[in-house]
Structure 1
Amino acid sequence: MELAHEAGAAGRESPHIDYWSWAKTGMVAGIIGGIAFAVFEMIVAAIAAGNAFGPFRMIAAVALGRQALTPDVSLGVAIIAGTLVHLAYSVVAGAVFALIIAAIRPLHAGKGAIIISASVLGLLMWLLNF
């Protein structure tokens, strides 16, 4: 992959893998994916339940407890807490995924393998979290 993730002399059979570079790329990708997922969830919630902000309350409950699901916690607080929890999870998941890809050389040989792997992971995360 041409993201400057491998450092070392050209022609070396086993170049050093720059794991930090992979992790940073994964963090950014995690944020992008997390935002895309949040928008998708808001659209689905608006269509299905008439409340686009319901997902924020559910995610905020991770940090604030069941109380976040009630009007006792203001919508503003739920949105802020939900966003922070969701983005933190997205950053960590993106970094972990990128480090796994970096460690398995055949997977970072081509963009197709990364896209397929990321899609499978995204589907698994969605199924496990809901």
Structure 2
Amino acid sequence: MLKITILSLGLFVGSLFAQDNLNKISSSGLKGYWSTLSISKEKNSPLYITIHNKAKRQVNMDVNLTLYTPSDKTIVFKHIKNINGYYLANVDFTEKGKYGYVLRFSKHVGGVNHSLRGKFKM
């Protein structure tokens, strides 16, 4: 029982540390779903995406991201994998300005798609 308590406490502290190192850049929601996009305070880090449905984090989703850069380029990320509770997309944010995005996700490949849109400034 003591091992389980110590392990749970370690996981909780670790998750708090991971959240402290992220800067939220955008959040959007629709019909019970909401997403948060964050970046790490460290340079050259991926874009961290979380998806929630009714306050429960969704980790087994098929996630696709379309990113619109300030210079009107479109970057598409398909079937983003979930790693440690986050969907990670490697994005080069050297271009400063307003970005737009469309986040599409479903419970499985070919399932009912949900879409969330948003904007953020880098």
TM-score bin, normalised by smaller chain? under 0.3
> Greater share of strand residues, 1 or 2?
2
> Greater share of helix residues, 1 or 2?
1
Between 1 and 2, higher relative CO (CA 8 Å, sep ≥ 6) is seen in 1
Structure with the greater alpha carbon radius of gyration: 1
